[in-house]
Amino acid sequence: MLPHPGSPPVRWRVAPGYVSYPQALAEMDRLAEAIAAGNEDELVWLLEHPPLYTAGTSARPEDLVDGQRFPIFQSGRGGQFTYHGPGQRVAYVMLDLKRRAPDVRRYVAALEEWLIRSLAAFNVRGERREDRVGVWVRRPFREGEGEDKIAAIGIRVRRWVTMHGVSLNVEPDLAHFTGIVPCGVRDHGVTSLVDLGLPVSMEDVDLALRREFEAVFGPTVAD
Protein backbone atom coordinates (compact mmCIF):
# COMPACT_ATOMS: atom_id res chain seq x y z
CA MET A 1 0.00 0.00 0.00
CA LEU A 2 2.63 2.45 -1.16
CA PRO A 3 2.06 6.22 -1.23
CA HIS A 4 1.65 8.29 -4.35
CA PRO A 5 4.99 9.15 -6.03
CA GLY A 6 6.61 12.21 -4.51
CA SER A 7 4.96 11.81 -1.10
CA PRO A 8 7.21 12.61 1.88
CA PRO A 9 8.47 9.68 3.97
CA VAL A 10 6.46 8.52 6.96
CA ARG A 11 7.83 9.85 10.25
CA TRP A 12 8.94 7.08 12.61
CA ARG A 13 8.72 7.86 16.33
CA VAL A 14 9.70 5.59 19.24
CA ALA A 15 8.54 6.79 22.66
CA PRO A 16 10.72 6.12 25.72
CA GLY A 17 9.13 4.74 28.87
CA TYR A 18 5.38 4.21 29.19
CA VAL A 19 2.79 6.48 27.60
CA SER A 20 -0.59 6.87 29.31
CA TYR A 21 -3.60 5.90 27.23
CA PRO A 22 -5.37 9.29 27.53
CA GLN A 23 -2.16 11.01 26.41
CA ALA A 24 -1.91 8.70 23.40
CA LEU A 25 -5.55 9.31 22.40
CA ALA A 26 -5.14 13.07 22.65
CA GLU A 27 -1.96 13.03 20.56
CA MET A 28 -3.56 10.80 17.93
CA ASP A 29 -6.55 13.11 17.67
CA ARG A 30 -4.28 16.12 17.23
CA LEU A 31 -2.07 14.45 14.66
CA ALA A 32 -4.96 12.99 12.65
CA GLU A 33 -6.51 16.44 12.28
CA ALA A 34 -3.18 17.94 11.26
CA ILE A 35 -2.48 15.19 8.73
CA ALA A 36 -5.95 15.49 7.22
CA ALA A 37 -5.45 19.26 6.89
CA GLY A 38 -2.09 18.73 5.18
CA ASN A 39 -0.15 20.34 8.04
CA GLU A 40 1.71 17.23 9.20
CA ASP A 41 3.33 14.28 7.47
CA GLU A 42 2.18 10.72 8.17
CA LEU A 43 3.47 9.10 11.35
CA VAL A 44 4.04 5.71 12.97
CA TRP A 45 4.34 6.02 16.75
CA LEU A 46 5.81 3.05 18.63
CA LEU A 47 5.24 2.89 22.37
CA GLU A 48 4.38 0.84 25.43
CA HIS A 49 1.47 1.47 27.77
CA PRO A 50 1.19 0.70 31.49
CA PRO A 51 -1.22 -2.21 32.12
CA LEU A 52 -4.76 -1.37 30.98
CA TYR A 53 -7.78 -2.66 29.11
CA THR A 54 -9.42 -0.88 26.19
CA ALA A 55 -12.94 -1.31 24.89
CA GLY A 56 -13.61 -0.97 21.18
CA THR A 57 -16.92 0.04 19.65
CA SER A 58 -18.10 -3.60 19.57
CA ALA A 59 -17.03 -4.50 23.14
CA ARG A 60 -19.52 -6.71 25.01
CA PRO A 61 -19.95 -6.36 28.80
CA GLU A 62 -19.78 -10.12 29.31
CA ASP A 63 -16.24 -10.14 27.87
CA LEU A 64 -14.95 -8.06 30.79
CA VAL A 65 -14.04 -10.83 33.24
CA ASP A 66 -12.34 -8.72 35.91
CA GLY A 67 -13.28 -5.04 35.75
CA GLN A 68 -11.26 -4.18 38.88
CA ARG A 69 -7.89 -5.45 37.73
CA PHE A 70 -6.64 -2.61 35.53
CA PRO A 71 -7.99 0.75 34.32
CA ILE A 72 -10.50 0.46 31.46
CA PHE A 73 -10.66 2.99 28.64
CA GLN A 74 -13.12 3.53 25.82
CA SER A 75 -10.91 3.63 22.75
CA GLY A 76 -13.08 4.73 19.81
CA ARG A 77 -11.46 2.09 17.59
CA GLY A 78 -13.25 -0.84 16.06
CA GLY A 79 -13.20 -4.21 17.77
CA GLN A 80 -13.80 -5.47 21.28
CA PHE A 81 -11.78 -5.64 24.51
CA THR A 82 -8.01 -5.79 24.38
CA TYR A 83 -5.09 -5.53 26.77
CA HIS A 84 -2.06 -3.25 26.53
CA GLY A 85 0.91 -3.33 28.85
CA PRO A 86 4.67 -3.57 29.32
CA GLY A 87 6.41 -5.95 26.95
CA GLN A 88 3.89 -5.34 24.20
CA ARG A 89 4.87 -3.17 21.25
CA VAL A 90 2.01 -0.90 20.27
CA ALA A 91 2.27 0.90 16.92
CA TYR A 92 -0.16 3.74 16.31
CA VAL A 93 -0.30 4.28 12.57
CA MET A 94 -1.51 7.59 11.17
CA LEU A 95 -1.57 7.38 7.39
CA ASP A 96 -3.52 9.46 4.89
CA LEU A 97 -5.31 6.91 2.74
CA LYS A 98 -6.07 9.63 0.17
CA ARG A 99 -2.32 9.58 -0.54
CA ARG A 100 -2.41 5.80 -0.95
CA ALA A 101 -5.72 4.05 -1.60
CA PRO A 102 -9.03 4.99 0.10
CA ASP A 103 -9.82 1.36 0.85
CA VAL A 104 -10.14 0.32 4.50
CA ARG A 105 -10.14 -3.43 3.85
CA ARG A 106 -7.00 -3.12 1.79
CA TYR A 107 -5.41 -1.11 4.59
CA VAL A 108 -6.23 -3.77 7.21
CA ALA A 109 -4.78 -6.45 4.92
CA ALA A 110 -1.63 -4.35 4.59
CA LEU A 111 -1.32 -4.13 8.38
CA GLU A 112 -1.63 -7.91 8.59
CA GLU A 113 1.02 -8.29 5.88
CA TRP A 114 3.34 -5.95 7.79
CA LEU A 115 2.99 -8.02 10.97
CA ILE A 116 3.38 -11.34 9.17
CA ARG A 117 6.56 -10.17 7.47
CA SER A 118 7.92 -8.83 10.76
CA LEU A 119 7.28 -12.15 12.52
CA ALA A 120 8.97 -14.01 9.68
CA ALA A 121 12.17 -12.13 10.56
CA PHE A 122 12.20 -14.26 13.73
CA ASN A 123 11.21 -17.47 11.92
CA VAL A 124 7.65 -17.25 13.23
CA ARG A 125 4.89 -18.09 10.79
CA GLY A 126 2.05 -15.66 11.36
CA GLU A 127 -1.25 -16.41 9.67
CA ARG A 128 -4.49 -14.60 8.81
CA ARG A 129 -7.94 -15.93 9.60
CA GLU A 130 -10.98 -15.12 7.50
CA ASP A 131 -13.35 -15.02 10.48
CA ARG A 132 -11.26 -12.91 12.87
CA VAL A 133 -8.84 -10.01 12.62
CA GLY A 134 -5.26 -10.20 13.82
CA VAL A 135 -2.29 -12.49 13.32
CA TRP A 136 -2.22 -16.04 14.64
CA VAL A 137 0.35 -18.78 15.19
CA ARG A 138 -0.26 -22.51 15.31
CA ARG A 139 0.59 -24.34 18.54
CA PRO A 140 0.81 -28.03 17.55
CA PHE A 141 2.63 -29.01 20.74
CA ARG A 142 -0.39 -28.20 22.91
CA GLU A 143 -3.03 -30.79 23.69
CA GLY A 144 -4.69 -31.10 20.30
CA GLU A 145 -3.62 -28.70 17.58
CA GLY A 146 -4.51 -25.15 18.51
CA GLU A 147 -3.55 -21.61 17.71
CA ASP A 148 -2.88 -18.44 19.66
CA LYS A 149 -3.07 -14.77 18.82
CA ILE A 150 0.26 -12.96 18.77
CA ALA A 151 -0.78 -9.62 17.30
CA ALA A 152 -3.97 -7.58 17.37
CA ILE A 153 -5.31 -4.95 14.97
CA GLY A 154 -7.81 -2.23 15.80
CA ILE A 155 -8.28 0.88 13.70
CA ARG A 156 -10.35 3.99 13.23
CA VAL A 157 -10.43 6.10 10.09
CA ARG A 158 -11.40 9.77 10.17
CA ARG A 159 -11.34 11.97 7.07
CA TRP A 160 -9.38 9.09 5.47
CA VAL A 161 -6.61 9.38 8.08
CA THR A 162 -6.00 6.17 10.03
CA MET A 163 -5.76 6.02 13.80
CA HIS A 164 -4.87 3.35 16.37
CA GLY A 165 -3.11 0.41 14.70
CA VAL A 166 -1.48 -2.81 15.88
CA SER A 167 -0.06 -4.44 19.00
CA LEU A 168 2.54 -7.19 18.93
CA ASN A 169 3.21 -9.36 21.98
CA VAL A 170 6.94 -9.43 22.59
CA GLU A 171 7.18 -10.24 26.32
CA PRO A 172 4.01 -9.14 28.12
CA ASP A 173 2.66 -10.90 31.19
CA LEU A 174 0.18 -13.20 29.46
CA ALA A 175 -1.75 -13.65 32.71
CA HIS A 176 -2.89 -10.04 32.32
CA PHE A 177 -5.04 -11.08 29.36
CA THR A 178 -7.22 -13.24 31.62
CA GLY A 179 -9.18 -10.25 32.90
CA ILE A 180 -10.94 -10.02 29.52
CA VAL A 181 -11.96 -12.20 26.61
CA PRO A 182 -9.38 -10.77 24.19
CA CYS A 183 -11.09 -9.48 21.05
CA GLY A 184 -14.13 -11.58 21.97
CA VAL A 185 -12.38 -14.84 20.99
CA ARG A 186 -13.05 -17.58 23.56
CA ASP A 187 -11.76 -20.64 21.72
CA HIS A 188 -8.12 -19.64 21.29
CA GLY A 189 -5.32 -18.32 23.46
CA VAL A 190 -2.74 -15.55 23.42
CA THR A 191 1.00 -15.92 22.95
CA SER A 192 4.14 -13.83 22.57
CA LEU A 193 7.55 -14.11 20.99
CA VAL A 194 9.13 -14.98 24.34
CA ASP A 195 6.36 -17.50 25.04
CA LEU A 196 7.31 -19.13 21.74
CA GLY A 197 10.89 -19.51 23.01
CA LEU A 198 12.33 -16.45 21.28
CA PRO A 199 13.98 -14.10 23.82
CA VAL A 200 14.17 -11.12 21.47
CA SER A 201 14.49 -7.54 22.65
CA MET A 202 12.07 -4.72 21.92
CA GLU A 203 14.86 -3.09 19.92
CA ASP A 204 15.14 -6.19 17.71
CA VAL A 205 11.39 -6.09 17.13
CA ASP A 206 11.47 -2.39 16.30
CA LEU A 207 14.15 -2.92 13.67
CA ALA A 208 12.09 -5.67 12.01
CA LEU A 209 8.91 -3.59 12.19
CA ARG A 210 10.54 -0.60 10.53
CA ARG A 211 12.18 -2.65 7.78
CA GLU A 212 8.98 -4.49 6.91
CA PHE A 213 6.82 -1.37 7.21
CA GLU A 214 8.96 0.23 4.53
CA ALA A 215 8.47 -2.84 2.30
CA VAL A 216 4.69 -2.57 2.59
CA PHE A 217 4.02 1.15 3.07
CA GLY A 218 7.09 2.99 1.79
CA PRO A 219 10.07 4.91 3.21
CA THR A 220 10.33 6.28 6.75
CA VAL A 221 12.39 8.98 8.43
CA ALA A 222 13.22 9.29 12.13
CA ASP A 223 10.91 11.79 13.84
Bridge partners (DSSP) listed for residue 94 = 43
- 89 near 209, Cβ under 8 Å? yes
The annotation places the binding site at 77-84, 152-154, 165-167
What amino acid is encoded at 28 in this protein? M
- Binding site residues for substrate, as ranges? 77-84, 152-154, 165-167
- Which stretches of 75-182 are DSSP H helices? 104-120
Establish whether 183 is a catalytic residue: yes
Amino acid, single-letter form, for residue 104: V
Active-site position among 55, 161, 183, 200: 183
Q: How far apart are CA 16 and CA 169, in angstroms?
A: 18
Rounded to the nearest 10°, the torsion over CA 30, 36, 42, 45 is: 30
User: Measuring CA to CA, how many Å separate 104 from each of 53, 80, 142?
Assistant: 25, 18, 35
Q: Looking at the annotation, which residues are catalytic? A: 183
